[in-house]
Structure 1
Amino acid sequence: MARVAYVDHSFHRTTRSTAFLPEILARHGHQVDLLWDDAWRGGAAVAWSEVQAHDVVIMFQSYCPPPDAYFRRVHPNVIYIPMLDQFGLSQGPLFNLSSFWEPFQGCKVLNFSNATHCMTTAFGIASHLIRYYQPVQETAAPPQQGLHGFFWLRREQQLPWETIRALVSGTAFDSFHIHLATDPGTAPPQSPSAGDVARHHITTSTWFEDKADLNAVMARANVYFAPRLEEGIGQSFLEAMGRGQCVVAPDFGTMNEYIVPGVNGLLYDPRNPGPLDFSDAVALGAQARRGTVEGRARWEAAEADLVRFILTPSEALYAGKYQHPPLAPAPDGGGKGGVRAMAQQFAIFRATRFLWHPLLRLARKVRGN
């Protein structure tokens, strides 16, 4: 049995959207100690001293302040789990992320997104990619006749009703429910106009005492409009796909890693939204559910490999493979091997060889005398 420290973003304490991983480890007989990081909202971070004695340290989106430049120098099995939406890809080109990833050189990263997996491997870090699917519940199928929409307006400045209005402008919905409840710290929602309410038979809500009531409203839709520009995993739209609803989402991750437009859902450009064709919405939703059932089976089949990756010490995944120069031990020959390794890795060292190589040769000659 391994003792696992699981450091998680404290927002997930309420949503429980990341609980599936500790549950898997516990089911395999391992002890999981949950630690919640409040640093993102001005609270306390989880101190390294709280996790250093564990066999495995998993850090989900948040992480302990490193006691050294590299986590691998202070612990043999550290795993970081990034969320795609923390990098803001929807806002434009990425800035230089080398400093972000540097502490994890020689560690392991567990990725739930193709995009973050490619990012991780580009920095030479051991990565395990796995695509998550929720358990599919046996529920009544969405309405098979007409168009019935649902949209949770969570972020007015990023994805307002005006964007959704542009997507449905060529179609009249038989019913459309908008849940006007924005995330904490965001701008208040703007309600649809009276004309929109009449055209699409819109109803609204702002609060439900019981989450079951919200779920009941969502279940009456056959078209689900994703509420955010990008997701970390995307539990809300994955749940909608599992219900058999046609998910309409921005063409960003992780939605565009699950949805093939015109096959199991619809994607759009939120910077230039235009009318979509909803004529096959019912069939797209049915295919989404079938894909979710198959995806869940693949997820469960891959569970043993996932647990094996978590328990395997980092060093075993790098054995016989490239190590970044700051972590690699100096080869025999001291400075000669170290500089040669740097020259092989960094173009600037090769380009300036005519400057430093004569000085290096002189230093060796002096040292030899």
Structure 2
Amino acid sequence: MMEKLLFVGLPEHKRTASFEFFTQLLENTYQIEYTKITIDKNWTNTTYAYNRIIFWQRLPPPEHLRAVSPTSVVYVPMYDEARNYNRQVIRTWAPFKIISFCRSIHEDLTAWGFNSKYVQYFPKPMVEAPLPLAVHKAFFWKREGSYINEAIPDAMIPLLLHDSGMKLHYHSETKPVCEKEFEDMVASRSSWLRSKEEMISLLRECSLYIAPRESEGIGMSFLDAMANGLAVAGADNPTMNEYISDGQNGYLFDLMKPLPINLENLQQVREKSLESCQAGYEKWEKEKWSLIDFIEEPHPSSLLVQVPRGFEYRSLKQKSMSFRAKRLVKRLAGK
């Protein structure tokens, strides 16, 4: 009989199937039940029924965790949110095993003494070769900024594509009309899509995907682009710079001083992007089972963790002004 596992995640991630690749792996070993992170204070009364509990991206308040055995808990933080946490919050992770899909956060956590396991995820490529296109377009998904992650502003797009002759597909679920300053670049638009298949169909009409945020937890949207033969241009931050080598299988740009992207070798970069996705997928298929081993192995009864005061994740090279302001407030508070 399979052990029971409680998977606690955010409702929007279940809706978008962001963690489906992981739960499909877990379903080979565990009987899974799902609940959302906004659990009430009485939820711990039922946790005794589960052999394992996995928290995806966010932990509940400490008072809701006191009745849970730490040895049964695995936490999966996401870089784009975790980069905003202060040292007091991060130190509360010490009792738990941690699965990191971002190499940068894994390296920091292990250096500080945490029990972290890292595996890089890649999706299965959906095309055998980049599709030939009569007109090259860049796909830009207008995202709204949030308290955990800043979106790439519209005004940056003309700078990145300056003098490239590249047309633009502009996708926005909340703002279907793009900025006037680059309206002449727009060849097509889309808003709310009913299925992932519709999104993939639009992606395949483009040759370049502009990653829409300044950092990512995993980066499912740009990974889908790579799997469909697009080159990806992203900020030189995790996780984009963990998947992309600038000018080889994609493009990295400086958030604070964006320069035009050299797209002369775009076709070769598209080919390398798809090749790296194929190689990454094959590696993921071999290594993903080590995550089950990690979940099952005993967690050290006590760990000495030392999160430096006033730390910065060493991998976050570029920070928006709003992010700098938030970090300054935390530092002034001695966190």
TM-score band w.r.t. shorter chain: 0.7 to 0.9
Query: 1:52, CA displacement in angstroms?
Result: 3.7
With structure 2 as the length reference, what TM-score do the two structures score? Answer: 0.81
- Structure 2 residue aligned with 1:86, among 68, 81, 84? 81
- Aligned position for 1:302: 287
Residue 119 of structure 2 aligns to which amino acid in structure 1? I
Question: Does the 8 Å CA contact 2:55/2:76 hold for their aligned counterparts?
Answer: yes
1:314 match: secondary structure: coil
CA RMSD between the two structures: 2.7
- Structure 1 residue aligned with 2:92, among 95, 103, 106? 103
Query: 1:311, CA displacement in angstroms?
Result: 1.3
Between the aligned partners of 2:196 and 2:281, the Cα distance in structure 1 is: 24
- Aligned position for 2:45: 49
Between the aligned partners of 1:62 and 1:140, the Cα distance in structure 2 is: 38
- Aligned position for 2:264: 279
- Structure 1 residue aligned with 2:304, among 324, 334, 343? 324
Does 2:252 correspond to 1:267? yes
2:71 match: secondary structure: coil
Between the aligned partners of 1:125 and 1:74, the Cα distance in structure 2 is: 17
- Aligned position for 1:12: 13
Residue 19 of structure 1 aligns to which amino acid in structure 2? E
Query: 1:22, CA displacement in angstroms?
Result: 1.8
Does 2:34 correspond to 1:34? yes
Between the aligned partners of 1:190 and 1:313, the Cα distance in structure 2 is: 53
- Aligned position for 2:152: 159
How many aligned positions are there? Answer: 302
Between the aligned partners of 1:281 and 1:262, the Cα distance in structure 2 is: 9
After superposition, the C-alpha distances for 1:44-72 in whole angstroms (9 at most, x for unaligned) are: 5783333243111111112233358878x
Residue 239 of structure 2 aligns to which amino acid in structure 1? T
Q: CA 1:74–1:208 in structure 2 vs 1: closer, same or farther (change >3 Å)?
A: closer
1:136 match: secondary structure: coil
Structure with higher helix content: 1
Residue 209 of structure 2 aligns to which amino acid in structure 1? Y
Question: Does the 8 Å CA contact 1:46/1:64 hold for their aligned counterparts?
Answer: no
Question: Does the 8 Å CA contact 1:113/1:129 hold for their aligned counterparts?
Answer: yes
Between the aligned partners of 1:228 and 1:78, the Cα distance in structure 2 is: 30
1:48 match: secondary structure: helix
- Structure 1 residue aligned with 2:173, among 164, 181, 194? 181
1:253 match: secondary structure: coil
Query: 1:204, CA displacement in angstroms?
Result: 1.8
Residue 36 of structure 1 aligns to which amino acid in structure 2? K
Does 2:13 correspond to 1:24? no
1:161 match: secondary structure: coil
Q: CA 1:109–1:46 in structure 2 vs 1: closer, same or farther (change >3 Å)?
A: farther
Q: CA 1:211–1:131 in structure 2 vs 1: closer, same or farther (change >3 Å)?
A: closer
Percent identity of equivalent pairs: 26
Q: CA 1:75–1:210 in structure 2 vs 1: closer, same or farther (change >3 Å)?
A: closer
Between the aligned partners of 1:35 and 1:280, the Cα distance in structure 2 is: 46
After superposition, the C-alpha distances for 1:288-335 in whole angstroms (9 at most, x for unaligned) are: 1111111111111112211100111213xx6xxx7339xxxxxxxxxx
- Aligned position for 2:105: 116
Residue range with higher mean Cα deviation, 61-70 or 201-210: 61-70
- Aligned position for 2:333: none
Query: 1:111, CA displacement in angstroms?
Result: 0.3
1:282 match: secondary structure: helix
Does 2:69 correspond to 1:77? no
With structure 1 as the length reference, what TM-score do the two structures score? Answer: 0.74
Relative contact order, higher structure (CA 8 A, sep 6+): 2
Between the aligned partners of 1:46 and 1:279, the Cα distance in structure 2 is: 59
> Which structure has the greater CA radius of gyration?
1
Query: 1:209, CA displacement in angstroms?
Result: 4.3
Does 2:155 correspond to 1:149? no
Query: 1:38, CA displacement in angstroms?
Result: 3.0
